[in-house]
Structure 1
Amino acid sequence: MANASEERRQRGIEDGWICVGAFAGAHGVRGDVRLKSFTDVPSALFAYPSLHKGANGPALKVKLLRDAPDGFIVRVDGVMNREDAQALKGTRLYVSREALEAEDEDEFYLADLIGLEARDASGAVLGIVRAVENFGAEDLLELVLTKPLKGLGRHAFIPFRKAYVPVVDIRGGFAEIAFDDWVETHISERDPDDMEEGAK
């Protein structure tokens, strides 16, 4: 199982920097670039003081031109043609973690959850938080479990609700998970036919 620091790095969180978007290639022939935002409110990407090319990389001047179905169309200072724009494809944009500081010390950002140890109420380690996903209904913590769970394997998606995640201790480096409650509820919601199929 990957360690917490590696999970954070893979998810675009490293050395005090957080990935908030990425270029997706050229748009048209004038040097415009497609940009995907990874922030909860996509347009919030343009409210940060500066966007950097890579963690601790050079600051880029990015001008919003218009919305697009999968993000935005932007103009990047110094990019003059389609070839230059296409060369940016896959480049991640970062902001300093300091730019995302919560106003209250008890507040945190979803990105802060990535890499935390997942523990049960007794303090036993269940695994780590690999990612925070949202498939349309609510935020889910993706856990990579230390031990595979029968019928589910090594990955579990826990609803980010107080009932299932009663404690988040960013400074302590862990989130408490009501894992047994989740397992009981999750299994009861599964189709009996699926359970029988999985048991074969």
Structure 2
Amino acid sequence: MAEPQKSVLIAEIGAAHGIRGEVRVKAHTADPLAIADYGPLYDNRGGIFRVKSLRHLKDDMLVVTFEGVTDRTAAEKLNRTKLHVDRSALPPPDEDEFYHVDLIGLAVETVAGEAVGTVTEVVNFGADDLLDVRRPGGTSVYVPFTRAIVPTLDFSAGKAIIAPPEGLLEEGGEPDEEETP
């Protein structure tokens, strides 16, 4: 079975834990133990992972045994595997909430109606989320994903409306800095 078309990252496998095939798993769900509630999990290559057992370790970290993983050697091979579920397996988000995958493919326009591009990814390099917006010419620009800069998400129209700060949409995507001698 192939990876779902509209998948949501819900966990990442870390280091092996012990000698019986257990692994540490970092959950990206509100309730870490809920990763077992969504059915089979998938990796980027279409591999299927079924939770056999799990227990809470700390915070968002779990110790998980997957079906078919019975020793430390097999568990070590799974390190850094990202686990996904099909978007349809997740509960509907609350009002004014959404999943990042719901943003992918939205057309991006300025508040003045100027076409900017299409959201291709939501990334976070440690501070805040950024929308990776592919411009019509093939270049990309990172748009800070804040309510001030992205005041409107219209999922029914398939649009994100942005109020870009000055210089964001200029060639190079960054405001010009003063040159130093």
Scaled by the length of structure 2, the TM-score of the pair is 0.69
Q: In 2 relative to 1, CA 27–59 (structure 1 residues): closer, same or farther, beyond 3 Å? A: closer
Q: Which has the higher helix share?
A: 1
CA distance in 1, matches of 2:71, 2:16: 9
CA distance in 2, matches of 1:75, 1:118: 42
Unaligned runs of 5+ in 2: 169-175
CA distance in 2, matches of 1:58, 1:145: 31
1:146-199: CA deviation from partner (whole Å, max 9, x where unpaired) = 289xxxx953342421x32222122332200011xx3379xxxxxxxx9335x6
- Aligned residues: CA RMSD: 3.6
CA distance in 2, matches of 1:100, 1:69: 21
Letter in 1 for 2:166: V
CA distance in 2, matches of 1:124, 1:57: 42
In the other structure, the counterpart of 1:144 is 133
Structure 2 residue 73 is the aligned partner of structure 1 residue 83 = yes
1:97-127: CA deviation from partner (whole Å, max 9, x where unpaired) = 1122426687532331133222102332223
Letter in 1 for 2:72: R
In the other structure, the counterpart of 1:111 is 101
Query: Paired residue for 1:133, among 124, 139, 142?
Result: 124
Query: Paired residue for 2:55, among 55, 62, 65?
Result: 65
Scaled by the length of structure 1, the TM-score of the pair is 0.64
In the other structure, the counterpart of 1:170 is 155
In the other structure, the counterpart of 1:3 is none
Structure 2 residue 37 is the aligned partner of structure 1 residue 48 = yes
CA distance in 2, matches of 1:171, 1:132: 23
Query: Paired residue for 2:111, among 105, 121, 124?
Result: 121
CA distance in 2, matches of 1:102, 1:77: 28
Q: Percent identity?
A: 33
CA distance in 2, matches of 1:143, 1:92: 20
CA distance in 2, matches of 1:131, 1:86: 29
